[in-house]
Amino acid sequence: MLVAPLDANTLAKIANGICDNLLTCVIRAWDLTKPLLFCPAMNTAMWEHPITAQQVEQLRGFGYIEIPCVVKKLVCGDEGRGAMAEVWTIVEKVKAILSERDLPKQLIS
């Protein structure tokens, strides 16, 4: 599973086990033997808040794989860390994870 973008609200819900919509329910029921990748994306002030680091660490503790956010000009006009990783970065990470699991090549090309 790939969650891209993962906003601050949904990050907080997942980290705290809140299941109040389809996405959070599916994630809560996710088979932890299968990969779950997440791509944080939020305002720089939200990203830099100490609770965000705790929540990201909580997801990593579940075995989820972070594709880190990047620095660039955000929709709100701020420039800083918080933007979702570039699509090509996400695709390459997904391909690498699938390759590690020896899935047929037609699924990852």
In contact, 42 and 80? CB cutoff 8 Å: no
Give the model confidence (pLDDT) of 38-97 as tens digits. 999 999 999 999 999 999 999 999 999 999 999 998 888 889 999 999 999 999 999 999
Q: What kind of fold does domain 2-107 have according to CATH?
A: Rossmann fold (3.40.50)
Enumerate the domain spans of the chain: 2-107
Strand partners, 3: 38
Confidence tier at 102 by pLDDT (50, 70, 90):
confident
76 is catalytic: yes
Identify the active-site residue in 19, 39, 69, 76: 76
* Cis preceding-peptide flag for 5 (omega within 30 of 0): yes
- Per-residue pLDDT, 54: 98
Q: Specify the pLDDT at position 76.
A: 80
* Helix, strand, coil % over all residues of the chain, rounded to 5: 45, 20, 35
With 0.75 as the threshold, say if the pTM is over it.
yes
- Give 103's pLDDT tier (boundaries 50, 70, 90): low
Q: What is the pLDDT of residue 82?
A: 94
- Rounded Cα gap, residues 87 and 104, in angstroms: 22
